[in-house]
Structure 1
Amino acid sequence: MVRNYIRKTDRQRWSSETMERAVAAVVRGVMGCKKASVQFQLPQTTLERYVKKRRTGPNSVIDKTAGKYHCVFTQDQEVELVVYLKDMQKRLFGLTLKELRKLAYQLAVRNGCEHPFNKHTEMAGEDWVHSFMRRHSELSLRKPEATSGARAMGFNRVAVAQFFTLLNKVIIEKKITCERIYNCDETGITVIPKQHSRVIANRGQR
């Protein structure tokens, strides 16, 4: 469904509860379809269709969701996808919107879901990904900081402790004094890309 859809007709503005009361009144013989459509402000042809269904099958329900548009994934599948996105962010490999669209297509194909995704590009549409982000407001697009993955993953208690243990060992073995210790940095060499695509992460998290 398009992300900025503007309704052009008054179709299906009625509620399921109102339709249920009207159908019940017609089935009980209190009034006819024409009178019920006027009194409950319902389209007569729609009311007649539901009355026919109710008379054919007393257990029939009024379902407004049985239309052209439907969700590709179930609620559980979308929750699993959200968990995966958050997990990738924690691992410092946050996905971009394009990568999410490719992943959604692969997920739909693997699970045999009926989908309107583009089979040529093998990606979900932009409308789907915008709707997905809107349904899961805890996700947002964040600009990653300029930190290399190796440096970030290496900065932990075990790695830092091991570094200073080795440093202390070398200083003692080589009898290095403070005047022989220099602070050096890279010059003209970088392992960190300057341009970053925005990735999907928890809202408000750096």
Structure 2
Amino acid sequence: MSRQYQRKTARGTFTKDAMEIAVAANLEGRYLRKAASDFGVNYKTRQRYVKLHQKHGNIEKATFGYSTQKKRIFSDEQEQALLDYIIEASSVYYGLTLREVRNLAYELAVANNIPVPESWTSAKTAVEDRLKAFRQRHNDKLSLRNPEATSLNRTQAFN
């Protein structure tokens, strides 16, 4: 089962520059829908930013598009520290398994008093989706091992 999200709409794909130009065009007297279609922005979205401009005098503080920062648990510095520890552990001995990295992420969050989702608290470990996203962000630097059966386990399996 693939967990790679495929975008189904163009919502939130406009740039800040395009929105500023579209808002300026509206302030010059262009029609709302005409200017919105000319700049590739939904007219309702444009109307919302025009109201923000009228209220505050600019749209500098407005957010544009979707933000994934709200969903992240660790800051960039904490994530880099976790990555450095994983790389250091892999150079010292055979490295960490996926479960050990998930446990380590949970322990790091608890030690730094970072609020975590309920699923982390009940399982006392990070969920697999967060680890997958972490691995995608650091794919060029990170290699985690899968546990393998030892020769002793293989002989016991045949008996």
Shorter-chain TM range is 0.7 to 0.9
CA RMSD between the two structures: 2.9
**Structure with higher helix content:** 2
Q: Secondary structure at the match of 2:143?
A: strand
Q: Secondary structure at the match of 2:79?
A: helix
> C-alpha displacement at 1:75, in angstroms?
1.1
- Map residues 102-121 of structure 1 onto 2, 5 A cutoff: 102-116=103-117, 118=119, 119-121=121-123
Task: Report Cα offsets for 1:136-188 as digits up to 9, x if no partner.
Answer: 12112346899xxxxxxxxxxxxxxxxxxxxxxxxxxxxxxxxxxxxxxxxxx
The 1:87/1:67 distance shift into structure 2, 3 A limit, reads closer
Contact residue 36 and residue 46 of structure 2 kept, 8 A: yes
- Map residues 118-137 of structure 1 onto 2, 5 A cutoff: 118=119, 119-137=121-139
Counterpart position of 2:44: 45
> Structure 2, unaligned stretches of length 5 or more?
154-159
Higher relative contact order (CA 8 A, sep 6+): 1
Q: How many residues align?
A: 148
Q: Secondary structure at the match of 2:144?
A: strand
> C-alpha displacement at 1:39, in angstroms?
1.1
- Map residues 165-184 of structure 1 onto 2, 5 A cutoff: none
> C-alpha displacement at 1:29, in angstroms?
2.4
> C-alpha displacement at 1:100, in angstroms?
1.0
Q: Distance in 2 between matches of 1:101 and 1:127?
A: 10
Tell me the TM-score normalised to structure 1 length.
Answer: 0.60
Q: Distance in 1 between matches of 2:32 and 2:113?
A: 42
Q: Does 1:16 align with 2:16?
A: yes
The 1:10/1:30 distance shift into structure 2, 3 A limit, reads same
* Higher mean displacement: 59-68 or 43-52: 59-68
Task: Report Cα offsets for 1:75-102 as digits up to 9, x if no partner.
Answer: 1111110111111122215211111111
Counterpart position of 2:144: 141
Q: Which has the larger radius of gyration?
A: 1
Name the aligned partner's letter for residue 130 of structure 1. K
Tell me the TM-score normalised to structure 2 length.
Answer: 0.76
Identical amino acids, percent of aligned pairs: 35
Contact residue 98 and residue 145 of structure 2 kept, 8 A: no
> Structure 1, unaligned stretches of length 5 or more?
147-192, 197-206
Name the aligned partner's letter for residue 121 of structure 1. A
